[in-house]
């Protein structure tokens, strides 16, 4: 009985994982998502950006037509401004953006098993984050701890 149950679970995971890959895996692009949050509540962007292999996340953002500004202290590792938001009068971008208003860099790796395929924080600066075709990259403006996950 236990062996049959184990085989059933394995078969389900293989089928579900395979189905997920067929449904969401675009082998020619990285799914790019931007949510301006409180900066411009109505602006959300979703694009499929062509990529043929491992791609630097910062380069992908630029390829998508977005202007990104880092900080004076940390350079391009930290996203301080996207398309001139927040404005220079609100955020100087000298060191780090404040903890209550910042651009979050989030990533969702294309995984074979569906329940492992969740959004999470980028583990490196955007200038060192690498994404692959089928992965997703997001820039989301967070205000007062509110991060609207895609």
Q: What is the pLDDT of residues 21-78, one digit of tens each?
A: 333 456 789 999 999 999 987 799 999 999 999 999 999 999 999 999 999 999 999 9
Higher local confidence (pLDDT), 25 or 125: 125
Higher local confidence (pLDDT), 14 or 46: 46
Could you tell me which of 94, 101, 92, 97 has the C-alpha nearest to residue 140? 101
CA distance 130 to 57: 6
Domains and CATH numbers, the chain: 2-143 (2.170.130.30)
Residues 14/116/122/108 CA torsion (nearest 10 deg): 60
Q: How far is CA 56 from CA 82, 91, 114, 122, in A?
A: 17, 26, 24, 12
Q: What pTM was estimated for this model as a whole?
A: 0.80
CA geometry: angle 52, 130, 125, nearest 5 deg: 150
Residues 88-101 have a mean pLDDT of 94
pLDDT at position 27 is 73
């Amino acid at each position: 009985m236990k062996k049959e149950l184990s085989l059933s679970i394995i078969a389900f995971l293989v089928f579900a994982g395979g189905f997920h890959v067929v449904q969401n895996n675009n082998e020619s692009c990285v799914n790019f998502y931007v949510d301006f949050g409180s900066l411009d509540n109505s602006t959300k962007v979703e694009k499929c950006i062509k990529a043929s292999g491992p791609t630097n996340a910062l380069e992908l953002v630029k390829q998508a037509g977005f202007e990104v500004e880092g900080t004076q202290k940390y350079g391009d590792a930290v996203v301080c401004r996207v398309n001139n938001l927040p404005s220079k009068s609100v955020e100087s971008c000298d060191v780090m953006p404040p903890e209550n208003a910042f651009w979050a860099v989030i990533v969702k790796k294309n995984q074979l098993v569906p329940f492992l395929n969740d959004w999470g924080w980028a583990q490196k600066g955007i200038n060192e984050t690498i994404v692959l075709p089928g992965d997703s990259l997001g820039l989301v403006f967070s205000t007062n701890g509110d991060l609207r996950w895609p």
